[in-house]
Amino acid sequence: MAAIDGLPPLRDVIRDHDLVAKKQLGQNFLLDLNLTAKIARQAGDLSGCDVLEVGPGPGGLTRGLLAEGARRVLAVEKDPRCLPALAEISAAYPDRLQVINGDALEVDVLSHLTPPIRVVANLPYNVGTELLVRWLTPKVWPPFWESLTLMFQREVAERIVAKPRTEHYGRLALLVQWRCEAKIVLHLPPEAFTPAPKVHSAVVHLTRLDSPRYPADGAVLARITAMAFNQRRKMLRSSLKGMGPDIEEKLVAAGIAPTARAEEISLEGFCALAREVAG
Ligand code: SAM
């Protein structure tokens, strides 16, 4: 039976185009169109937006985004085997879906998008964190996107939203929360995917802030948090020795006890320290 968009069910699409999942491309497909529409809705009102989707695969989430009213979708897919299936979706939604066959880490997407832009993706796990870090560290802020709605392994999602004094708190939480509002909006069990991965997944929704929550130089903040969390069990006066001989005074000036450990320090505290270090 055809789905609501008049296109065949995804199981048929995969069979007809012989899309046997490839592990090295992180291919775990979502076949339930109710679920993909639900994920698309987590991105907010798409009607006036261009959407960048990375890794559309056979197009389940793409169909969700279009059915939920995205103005246009730009989908970047590395696997050429998926292109005929995606071409069928383009034909069903004239002028609303553009597909680029390429590696999302290399393709220049900006010239194909018109603001406002939202990013929505069931990311290949092998490139997901790298893409996230790139989207969070553009040359100028605010970035090209208004929000990121992304599927991750549950553990990565927990690292993104983590608070101080918790197991998953670290560099990624600080990088994200410095300039975004971040929350986990959906949990998905392995059985939601075909084939089922070994781990649970979660969708994270990030909304950019117009400016950072606390002033700091991004490069200094990144250097400090990298050093502090590389030795997260050590006291900061020792893990941050490499920042200079006067690091203890700078910690004190930032209101941080030199004997504290990285996981105890809030984003506000790290930003204060970054300002002291930058002078
Ligand atoms: N969006 C589809 C879904 O939800 O069913 C597929 C998701 S699957 C987890 C990840 C997709 O990303 C695959 O289609 C894979 O071929 C594609 N992919 C993997 N690495 C990529 C890369 N570097 N650039 C673009 N696409 C990539």
Could you report the per-residue pLDDT of 237-250, keeping only the tens digit for each? Answer: 999 999 999 999 99
The pLDDT of residue 187 is 98
Whether the ω angle into residue 142 lies within 30 degrees of 0, i.e. cis, is yes
Mean pLDDT in the chain? 96
Q: What ligand 1 atom has the least distance to the C-alpha of 27?
A: 8
Regarding an ipTM greater than 0.90, the answer is yes
Whether the ω angle into residue 8 lies within 30 degrees of 0, i.e. cis, is no
CB 13 within 8 A of CB 58: yes
Task: Say yes or no to pLDDT of 265 above 70.
Answer: yes
pLDDT, average across residues 8-28: 95
Nearest CA to ligand 1 atom 8: 27
Q: Which two tokens stand for residue 5?
A: 């968009």
Cα of 194 to ligand 1 centre, how many Å? 13
- Domains of the chain, earliest start first: 10-208 (3.40.50.150), 218-278 (1.10.8.100)
Q: Is 74 in the pocket of ligand 1 (CB under 6 A)?
A: no
The pLDDT of residue 164 is 98
Instruction: List the Cα angle 192/197/200 in 5-degree steps.
Output: 65
Whether the predicted model's global pTM rises above the 0.90 cut: yes
Cα of 26 to ligand 1 centre, how many Å? 6
CB 181 within 8 A of CB 150: no
Task: Say yes or no to pLDDT of 1 above 70.
Answer: no
Q: Is 269 in the pocket of ligand 1 (CB under 6 A)?
A: no
Neighbours of 110 (CB within 10 A): 10
Q: Is 243 in the pocket of ligand 1 (CB under 6 A)?
A: no
pLDDT band at 125 (very low <50, low <70, confident <90, very high): confident
The pLDDT of residue 245 is 94
Best residue among 19, 27, 105 to mutate for probing ligand 1, ranked by most atoms within 8 Å of CB: 27
pLDDT band at 279 (very low <50, low <70, confident <90, very high): confident
Q: What ligand 1 atom has the least distance to the C-alpha of 55?
A: 12
| Per-position b or e across 114-123, b if 16+ CB within 10 A of its CB | eeebbbbbbb
pLDDT, average across residues 20-44: 96
Q: Which residue has the tokens 């020795």?
A: 241
Contacts of 194 (CB under 8 A, 6+ apart): 14, 21, 28, 29, 30, 31
Q: Is 78 in the pocket of ligand 1 (CB under 6 A)?
A: yes
Could you report the per-residue pLDDT of 206-259, keeping only the tens digit for each? Answer: 999 999 999 999 999 999 999 999 999 999 999 999 999 999 999 999 999 999
What is the Cα–Cα distance from 27 to 56, expressed in whole angstroms? 10
- Which of 228, 144, 142 has its CA nearest to residue 179? 142
The rounded Cα 8 to chain-centroid distance in angstroms is 29
What is the Cα–Cα distance from 54 to 14, expressed in whole angstroms? 19
